[in-house]
Amino acid sequence: MMKSINELIKEINELKSDLHDKDFLLTWEQTPEELERVLKTAQVLKAMRQENIATNVFKNGLAVSLFRDNSTRTRFSYASAINMLGLAQQDLDEGKSQIAHGETVRETANMISFCADAIGIRDDMYLGAGNAYMREVGEALDDGVKEGVLPHRPALVNLQCDIDHPTQSMADLAWLEEHFGGLDKLKGKKIAMTWAYSPSYGKPLSVPQGIIGLMTRFGMDVTLAHPEGYDLIPEVVEEARANAKLSGGSFTQVESMEEAFKDADIVYPKSWAPYQVMGRRTELLRANDHDGLKALEQECLAQNANHKNWHCTEEMMKLTKDGEALYMHCLPADITGVSCEEGEVEESVFEKYRIPTYKEASWKPYIIAAMIMNRKYQNPADILQELLDEGQKRVK
């Protein structure tokens, strides 16, 4: 049974949080209570929208977006989130800005933030750089507020970096909470985060790293599987292992999709590029070495082709708990016979879970809006209660 808006607001008030003093750049930098607070805030926002209650927290203001990689779901989710809160969006096109002429990060961060309440950044192209860039922006914003240049501190949200994809993994967690009926119901559930074959290369590491880094916080039995050589960032793997010990869950690494799928409650088959490859790719990108990038791509595609048996099929799904594990994907999935000749998932499997994956994705705007609210307000529950009491209709 779904909790009422009033019940959720009361629970938000009872959760301790310092999110108003820090940016949401990695999920494992937040406490379990803070993560739960974001989830509950998202649930309230979603429920209020469903009940046609306006959620315009801001009467005016700007939200800046910077996407250094292609995006559909996250780009539109960010736009939806800030509009839901009453902000206007301005996309920072670096090619049309003074960044192309050598403007510093410190200067850019302050110049775009005079009337900004939120900044969302997607920077997953360069291993070892994306998250670091976000932190540099954050430090510049702190300095701008300290020196009286900026009237207030914009909320900075990681829309995907080289290390983590917190808006995606938190949306995934919100969907799991909805699907299984509560965070407490996730304890002991087995989730298989596995590599899957793709006819493309260079997919970021941040989704699998986000999943193992977050789901181990809630007592889940997390299994990571990939072919030899498709490693993730070692420090993130160690973080997941430590998280599992603290939460009473488990973290296991196996060498086959079959072993990972066995008795799993949830499966998340997703391609990614090897950690070592992403490091080489970063060096080539920075050197603007087009020939080197083409050679690396061909090398990696040949390597991928050796592992086409890492394929989420109906037969593979039969290995899961009662043959009915929940299939998850951040989308777009490489669907065999649909979006590609051979890919991550069989068409029949994807079609069976297509609507659930859409529901999974539908949480992202609310998660992003909740992250912004918890950064901007020390007590977001009070703001939500005011909106609820006012009861203004979103649609007349």
Cβ(218)–Cβ(172) below 8 Å: no
Residues 6+ apart with CB under 8 A from 377: 20, 383
Per-residue pLDDT at 28: 97
Q: Which of 129, 106, 255, 279 is nearest to 192 (CA)?
A: 255
Residues 6+ apart with CB under 8 A from 221: 188, 189, 190, 191, 249, 250, 252
292-303: b (≥16 Cβ within 10 Å) or e: ebeebbeebeeb
Helices first, then strands: H and E counts in the chain: 16, 11
Q: Which of 257, 244, 254, 256 is nearest to 211 (CA)?
A: 244
Per-residue pLDDT at 76: 96
Q: Which helix (H) or strand (E) holds 392?
A: none
Per-residue pLDDT at 2: 67
Evaluated on CA atoms 357, 360, 362, 368, the torsion sign reads negative
Strand partners, 327: 267
Q: Note whether 5-123+128-161+364-390 and 168-360 share their fold.
A: yes
Tell me how far the alpha carbon of residue 126 is from its chain's centroid. 17
Per-residue pLDDT at 93: 79
Terminal CA-CA length for the chain: 29
Per-residue pLDDT at 101: 53
Per-residue pLDDT at 385: 97
CA angle 220, 372, 120 (to 5 degrees): 95
Token pair recorded at residue 57: 């927290």
Three-class SS state of 157: strand
Instruction: Give the CA distances from residue 106 to residues 143, 236, 256, in Å, rounded to whole numbers and listed in that order.
Output: 9, 28, 46
Cβ(198)–Cβ(343) below 8 Å: yes
Say which amino acid occupies 6.
N
Residues of the chain with pLDDT under 70: 1-2, 95-102
Strand partners, 157: 24, 120
Structure confidence by residue, pLDDT tens digits, 82-101: 999 999 999 987 765 656 55
| Residue spans of beta strands (DSSP E) within 81-202 | 88-91, 116-123, 155-161, 190-194
* Residue 46 main-chain phi, psi, to 5 deg: -65, -45
CATH code of the domain made up of 5-123+128-161+364-390: 3.40.50.1370
Token pair recorded at residue 286: 């920075």
Tokens 């990571």, residue located: 224
Tokens 């974001």, residue located: 38
Strand partners, 155: 118
- What is the value of pTM for the model shown? 0.96
Task: Decide: residue 117, CB within 10 A, 0-12 exposed, 13-18 middle, 19+ buried.
Answer: buried
Domain boundaries, the chain: 5-123+128-161+364-390, 168-360
Cβ(253)–Cβ(176) below 8 Å: no
Tokens 């292609």, residue located: 70
Say which amino acid occupies 391.
G
Cβ(162)–Cβ(126) below 8 Å: yes
Instruction: Give the CA distances from residue 168 to residues 158, 162, 194, in Å, rounded to whole numbers and listed in that order.
Output: 10, 13, 16
Of the candidate CATH numbers 1.10.260.40, 3.40.50.300, 3.40.50.1370, 3.90.180.10, the domain formed by 168-360 belongs to 3.40.50.1370
Per-residue pLDDT at 286: 87
Query: For 186, which DSSP code?
Result: G
Q: What is the rounded distance in angstroms from the CA atom of residue 346 to the CA atom of residue 249?
A: 30
Query: For 191, which DSSP code?
Result: E
Q: What is the rounded distance in angstroms from the CA atom of residue 164 to the CA atom of residue 116?
A: 24
Query: For 343, which DSSP code?
Result: -
Structure confidence by residue, pLDDT tens digits, 64-80: 999 988 888 999 999 99
Half-sphere exposure of 247 (CA within 13 A, CB side): 30
